[in-house]
Structure 1
């Protein structure tokens, strides 16, 4: 009768937030008091459960002679709870007993609305689970020995772009203190909490999807494919041209390989983003691969800078080390293993200045892009459209600059081309 009366409270509640909070707290308090009356002493273990239209209740009791050897799981509609009740009972030295009550409310979100969760303006809050309560009735020492895990089955469609929060009810609002997301997928979420209370799962999403920038989209679909073409042409030139033994193209080749694959994967990801977002595992794999490819590209840019320094300084001793130690295999280990180690922890040159002074100035400025210095612009864009456009154009054209400097303007390539023509 009391539970049915609680349902009437839900139906008759007004839109006044203060009234909703007051009614919600009354329903929770009344339900918890009633359920605690069902707890009775036991030497081993005992179990009580019932289901009504508005609430599912499960009560589990253990006594001093309990023989359970694992943490019990309590199940209700769309939710479950794992709690170390035996450990709690052992902490009650006098009685060596404990009881837990687990309740799942079917309509409580109409009172304890997700809007009572404090988030930034312009966001939408959605209740993704039924509201549940967990208490330790008639238990003297209620200190938890281990965090309690709650498994919430999503009662609404999961939005991959949203953020999930495990929250508990703190008299007048939903807060996250002491609770965290342990595991999640499109169907359910596991929350871990260090205390007992009334819990729920709330998803925060943007009030509207971010507007796409048509100009940036156009530049992206024009500049990135152009860069991919010149990365490919550079690799083809490096493969076909006959180079002097003094020339070390290992870094240049791997810059092209890493960035070509990274830009290509990024372009494909943008094309099929709506499909990829639905697969969290695929999203994680693609993010990891992109992280690895771009990071290895940066490492190879650093290696190229070191080799350029050795070449420009013309240091005989270092040049000897370069030939004997900086072999292709050794450079590949550095170029890819550094990136691989960094990714695992987060889950986890021989240009010579020939030609006119103007051509030398162009090659010097172009090295700024080839060595990845233009990526520094990313720290200063901060919504500045002009800098965003410059950033996109320069970094998508690293392949173009590599092709111009090391292929088109390289005397050995020109000489090889003339021999082929003759």
Structure 2
């Protein structure tokens, strides 16, 4: 949302308070202040700590060769960790301190964050699928091509992001979403 009173022709003031800190996400009674500097500091410190630990995890798993892991499982873990690192950095960098940005830039920030968190969830689902396979087949089959995992890990989040953009543009141009869905169902 944007603030019509504070916005000018050159900048749009974003009044998006749901991306400010993790304290708001955990507040089920909706009493947390959105601009609490302590919650913002804790969110930033914990995101930095989490990113550092992800980096350290990748370094240790790359250097350590004593643990036998299948290359497929390791590749899935690596993609999940990379996407999680990027998602956390985007959440920290793109939402902090950017209250006076253009409306388009605010929407781009939201789209980037949305895509990377969806990729984290998709790669986590793939990791769960590999664990499921290991439990019932004991060993991973050698015939699972990594391309299928790329399609799920990056393709499904891209598809969902495109659907979100479609709904967003339909709303901007004044289309009624119920009518648009009815038209899509008929075709």
1:328 to 2:146 alignment: yes
Structure 2 vs 1, CA of residues 159 and 241 (structure 1 numbering), >3 Å: closer, same or farther? same
Equivalent residue for 1:304?
A: 127
What pairs with 1:224-239 in structure 2 (closer than 5 Å)? Answer: 224-239=47-62
Alpha-carbon contact 1:288-1:343 (below 8 Å) kept: yes
Equivalent residue for 1:256?
A: 81
Deviation of 1:244 after TM superposition, in Å, equals: 3.3
Q: Which has the larger radius of gyration?
A: 1
Measure, in 2, the Cα distance between the counterparts of 1:265 and 1:344. 19
TM-score, normalization by structure 1: 0.31
Q: What value does the CA root-mean-square deviation take over the aligned residues?
A: 3.0
Equivalent residue for 2:64?
A: 241
Measure, in 2, the Cα distance between the counterparts of 1:158 and 1:264. 25
Equivalent residue for 1:289?
A: 112
Q: Write 1 or 2 for the structure with the bigger share of strand.
A: 1
Measure, in 1, the Cα distance between the counterparts of 2:61 and 2:49. 19
How many residue pairs are counted as aligned between the two chains? 145
Q: Write 1 or 2 for the structure with the bigger share of helix.
A: 2
TM-score, normalization by structure 2: 0.65
Equivalent residue for 1:70?
A: none
List structure 1 runs of 4+ shifted beyond 4 angstroms: 156-159
Of structures 1 and 2, the one scoring higher in RCO (CA 8 A, sep 6+) is 2
What pairs with 1:332-347 in structure 2 (closer than 5 Å)? Answer: 332-347=150-165
Q: Which runs of 5+ in 1 are unaligned?
A: 1-123, 129-153, 164-209, 349-422
Deviations 1:250-284 (A, max 9, x none): 2211111111001111111233313xx42222222
Q: Which runs of 5+ in 2 are unaligned?
A: 17-32, 167-187
Equivalent residue for 1:270?
A: 95
Measure, in 1, the Cα distance between the counterparts of 2:4 and 2:155. 43
1:160 pairs with one of 2, 5, 13 = 13
